[in-house]
Each structure stands twice: as structure tokens, then as C-alpha cells.
Chains A and B, each alone.
Chain A
Amino acid sequence: MVMMADPIARQDSVRVSALHALAYCPRLFYLEEVEELYTQDAAVFAGRRLHVELEQQEDAQWQDLYLESEDLGLRGRLDALRTRSGQLIPYEHKRGRAHRDEANQPQAWDSDRLQILAYACLIESALGTPVAEGRIRYHADNVVVHVPLTDAGRAEVRQAIAAARALRQSDLRPPVTVNERLCARCSLAPVCLPEEARLAHDREWEPVRLFPADDDRQVVHVLEPGSRVGRTGEQLKVARLNQPVELFPIRQVAQVVLHSYAQISTQALHFCADQGVGVHFISGGGRYLGSFDTRQGSIQRRIRQYQALTDGAVCLRLAQRLVMCRGQGQRKFLMRGQRSASPAVQAALKPTIAQMQAVLKQVDRADSLATLLGLEGKLAALYFGALPLLIGEKVPPELRFDGRNRRPPKDRFNALLSFGYALVFKDVMNGILTVGLEPALGFYHQPRSQAAPLALDLLEIFRVPLVDMTVMASVNRGQWDVAADFEVRGPQVWLSEVGRHKFVELYERRKEETWKHPKLGYALSYRRWFELEVRLLEKEWMGEGGLFAQLVLR
């Protein structure tokens, strides 16, 4: 008794489970149905397991069926349909507890009630048999709630379907629900960021952190040329020359980064794509080549990005924020260096810090991207002019530098910076792809070959805290071997394989450190920050702005 519908009608009808989401929170419905974001939480899997268990228990009685009614514009899969004294009764199994009214009598939750009513209407419409009631069984307290289907109930279902369809056509993401307790149990909280959205509207709001503090899956860097990455069962396998094979359970891997000429099999690529593991390629010279990542966001998300970022005023405002963020970061880093430096160095840094402050004051008044580029250039020139002063006295002359140069880097210090920026670029790209934005459409950098403008934009935020500070600290600690860690080829300087190995380690350790977000007020790791920053950026054009690019060192 399976009703198949043609694909066009299928798109048009509403799933009963989507109505359940709509009754829970319209924003949840919008994120799932329009923006196509699904993150299954523990309850979803527990619910599915319950269904598998039920199927095993009562395979004879069990029937589940897909129904679709073009008349109603509704489709869904019934948990079970039973006949009781000549009446067809749809059953819905819920893992949790029933709602209790004042008299402590079990009642259906609003969203569950709408769901079972929708199933009842669906049966009436698709099978043409009248249904008097639906029943919900709550397994946690083992009660069955009867929900009679009345005309009022039928009207309610029709209204909900109409509301769902209207919302599907809408460009507007509904606001965060007023009831915070719903968010605490919502599977989409890590992508919806309800607390952060509330803060955007109400500066007095104190966000409770809801999302995971950190992603503790591993980032696997494969540096050795001749290594092969493959798949075995549910694991990734890395085979190196003359070394034991390393196995990684796929659910503990966040990214695979292939440096130079490590190989990866097609099977492993399919596997990573299937499991949402980012695969990134970095050339032997430390240049970011690209990624294999199929986590493309929904088109709705991207359309909103196109709309926002083709507006010059929005771009300018965001670019100002970005230049401000990076410039202040650079200035604060010099000020930090000043604290522990000798009086001579302190005196030498002082004018630069003052000049940078003067330039920063002009950023808010800049009226075009060209002006901003000029200001940013000035800031960078001041910063890189003063940066060599922070290098300690004991550091050998080979590791000193006098200004930034790149493509190719001409000294060891610049080689370190360049490689570091490539690694950050890789992580920024990973964040953008995870969130589902279009990396090729940015607001500040102009498109050029190879590098994606949005990633270049976001890179600005992370340069100082993740690379400049890491490089400076490691140089001052004397962690670099001027001969073994670098390869000097005429005027070009690269990191050797040993050097890259060392740098990746330093960088990954730095990413694990935590800091307290100045606006959000909670602590998070740098590693988690990439994705958060992209989500906060997306909020800028979704009406919940003001939180993007707020990191300033203290």
C-alpha cells in the first residue's frame, strides 16, 4: 500500500516530521527544510534505535508505510498502523516522556500532537478511510496518549501545512524562539547559535554556551612523500615507507592534510566525503592547493550571501571591521613585545604604535575599499617595519628579517610566515566549507587565481594570533635549526621536511590554546574559532550582526 508520487509533487508536499519541527520552533523548520542543515543529535539516533528494536520485537504486527496526499500536500512515513475494533489507528512511538498537565495526567506535547493529527489526516486523505484518533506511546514513562481527530484538529493540520509552505517560500530566517529551554534540547543549536543571536539583539544578554567547546577529532597531516592514504573497513589507513601502518577510526578524524606528494586512494576520498572529513592539499613549497570537500551548503544560504556581498555598503562595512580587527591585533602584538623589551627597543617601538593608532582612527571614516586597502597597506608597512625589533638578542642573524616578502620568501623568517599563512588558509577554507558558504565571493579581497577571496578575507583575522605570534615565539625560544630546518635555493628560502614537521606541530599546538571571546564572553579554542567566525559572519547578513571580527588581543 505504498503510494508513489511524481517527483514534482513530492517536492511540493510537506513531510509530517517537518511539521513536527515547525511546531517545535519555526527557525528549526527553516534551517532544516530551507537551508537543508541536518545535524542528528543523540535523540534522533536513540529514536531510530527504538524503531529498530520495535521492528525486531513485533515483526509480524509491524507495518510501516509511506503515504502521500496531493490533496493535503502532505507526505510521511507512519510508525505503525493498527486496526482496533474496525477502526484504523495510527501509532507514533516516542522515546521520551509525555507532557504532564496540572493534574499530572499524561498529555501529548504540542509538536507530537500536531504530528499524530497530521498522520491521521494523511491516512484519511490518502486511503479514503475515516480515522477517529491517533495514539502516541511514550516509552520513557510507558504511557499511551490518545489524540482524537476532530474538525478543529483537521483545520489545525491544514493551517500548519499552509504555514510551512509559506515559510518555505520566504527569504527570512525566523527569529530564535523565546523559549530558551527548547534550544537546550535542540539538535541544531550548534549551527543556529541561538545564544549568540540573542546577544546580537540584546547586548545585555549573557550567552550560555551551547555549542561544543571544541572539535576534538584529529587533524591528520601526511608530510612524508611516498605515503599512501587508503581505506580499510571503517578506518583510514596511512602507509609510509618502512614504517608500520597507522589506522585512524574515521569518526575521530576531522581533516586529512596531504603535503607534497602523498597519495590518497579514490576509495579513501569517497569515504572522507561520505563522512564529512575535509581533505586538503598543500604543495611541497607550502602553498595551499585546494581541497576535496563535498559539504556544499544549500543554495539558499549562498543566495543570501550573494545578495549581501554584492551590496557595496555591506562589503565596505565588513571590510572596515576586518581591517580594524587585524590592525588592532598587530598593534596590540607590538605593545605586548614592548612590555618585556629593553628601553632602547621600547623607545623604537613607541612612534610606530602611536602612528598605527592614528591610522586605525581613519578606518571608520574610509569611504571606499580602495581607501581601506591604502590604510591596510600603511598599517602593514608600520607593523612589519617594527616587527624585527621584537626578535631577541640571542637569535642568530640568519633568522632575522627586515620586512615581509613572499612568493617566494627570501629569508627564513618570511618562509615561516608564508608556510603558517598557508596552514591558516587551509583551516579557514575548511571552516567556510563546513558552514556552506561560497569561498569565491568575498567582501574585501578581489578575486585572483588560486586563492578564494572569502578565505583571504577571513584569513586576516587569524594571521596575528595564530601565525605571527607563533613564529615570533618559536624564533625567540631558539626552536629553529638554521641549517636543517630550511632549504636555501639561491634567493629562495623554503622549509625543509623536518622544518615543516616542526612548524605543523607548533601550529597545531597553538590552535589548541583557548581564549575568551571579548564579546561572547566564553572561552573557546582557536581551533573551534574558525567555524564560529564563519557562522558569525553569516549572521551579519541574516539580521543578527555585530559579532563578526571582534577578536582583539589583550
Chain B
Amino acid sequence: MAELKHWYMVCYDIRDPKRWRKAYRLLEGYGERLQYSIFRCWLSQRDRERLRWELEKVLAAEDSLLLVGMCDRCVQRIPSYNRPESWQVRGDRFRIL
């Protein structure tokens, strides 16, 4: 079982501030906020399903949620048509503070 990881954009529209807050906090544990209501997360399939399950417990039927998985090629192409700061990746597996 290879734990391949991919980038996912997680976009949501949540109609209730309380649920919004919950979902926002949850997503902060998984990835990084790019814009209001748009996160990017580096996830394995396992993480992705776990996130979907956890989000499903928070969201109501009227809310919307969109996960977009991106292949390596998609991610490589991003800098070519965006502002340089819009997709910066720190590949480090350690941090020294």
C-alpha cells in the first residue's frame, strides 16, 4: 500500500458561522489556507478520506464542499500562469526554530 501523496485544494461555502468556524479549525490541522475558504493540503488517500469523514460530520446539507485533487503535472504548471507568491512549497521535512 503505497502512501502516495497529492495536493488537494479544499474549497467550501458554509452557511452558518458556527459550522464555518469548526470546519476552518479542522482544515487548519490538515493544511494551509490560501484564500478565504480555500485551503491546500498535501494528503495521502487515507488522510483525504479521513478529512472528508471529519468534514462530513461538521457540514450540513445546505453547505457546499469541493475537493480538487491535482496531479504532479498540474502543480508544476501553476507558477507559469500565476503570480509568483501564489503557490510556494516548502519541501522541508524538518524545521529548526
A pairs with B: yes
A residues touching B (Cβ–Cβ < 8 Å)? 40-46, 48-49, 52-53, 56, 184-187, 189-190, 209-213, 216-224, 227, 233-235, 238, 240, 246-252, 501, 504-505, 508, 512, 527
Query: B29, A210: Cβ atoms under 8 Å?
Result: no
| Chain B residues within 8 Å of chain A by Cβ, number | 31
Are A40 and B50 CB-contacts (below 8 A) given A218-B92, A221-B97, A505-B96? Answer: yes
Query: How far, in whole Å, are A504 and B57 apart by their CA atoms in the complex?
Result: 41
Min Cβ gap B28→A in Å is: 5
Using Cβ atoms and an 8 Å threshold, which residues of chain A touch B89?
none
Q: Does B13 contact A (CB under 8 A)?
A: no
The A interface, classified by DSSP as helix, strand, loop or mixed, is mixed
Instruction: Specify which chain B residues have a CB less than 8 angstroms from the CB of A223 in the assembled complex.
Output: 96-97
- The yes or no answer to B3 lying at the interface (CB within 8 A) is yes
Q: Are the C-beta atoms of A233 and B49 separated by less than 8 Å?
A: no
Residue of A nearest to B32 (CB): A249
B46: chain A residues within 8 A (beta carbon):
40-42, 45
Secondary structure dominating the interface of B: mixed
Q: Collect the chain A residues with CB atoms within 8 Å of residue B50's CB.
A: 40, 42, 45
Select B53's contact among A41, A46, A238, A248, beta carbons within 8 Å: A46
Chain B residues with CB below 8 A from A246, complex form? 95, 97
Of B26, B42, B95, B97, chain A has the most CB atoms within 10 Å of the CB of B97
Check if B1 sits within 8 Å of A41, measured CB to CB: yes
**Can you list 12 A-B contacts (CB < 8 A)?**
A41-B46, A189-B1, A211-B3, A213-B3, A217-B93, A219-B94, A220-B94, A220-B95, A221-B96, A234-B28, A249-B28, A249-B31
In the assembled complex, the Cα of A531 lies from the Cα of B42 at a distance in Å of 22
> CB distance A46 to B49 under 8 Å?
yes
Interface digits, B47-58 against A, CB 8 Å rule (1 contact, 0 not)?
111101100110
A233 touches B25 (CB 8 A): yes
Alpha-carbon gap, A274 to B44, bound state (A): 20
B64 an interface residue at 8 Å Cβ cutoff?
A: no
Which chain B residues numbered 61 to 97 have a C-beta less than 8 Å away from chain A?
61, 92-97
Report the Cα distance A527→B21, complex, angstroms: 36
Within 8 Å CB of A233, what residues of B?
Answer: 25, 28-29
Complex-state Cα separation, A52 to B48, whole angstroms:
16
**B97, A45: Cβ atoms closer than 8 Å:** no
- With A190-B1, A219-B95 known, 15 other A-B pairs at CB within 8 A are A40-B50, A42-B49, A42-B50, A187-B1, A212-B3, A212-B44, A219-B94, A220-B95, A234-B25, A247-B28, A249-B29, A252-B31, A252-B42, A508-B96, A512-B93
Q: Which of A41, A49, A212, A216 contacts B52 (CB 8 A)?
A: A49
Contacts A40-B50, A251-B47; A235 near B28 (Cβ below 8 A)? yes
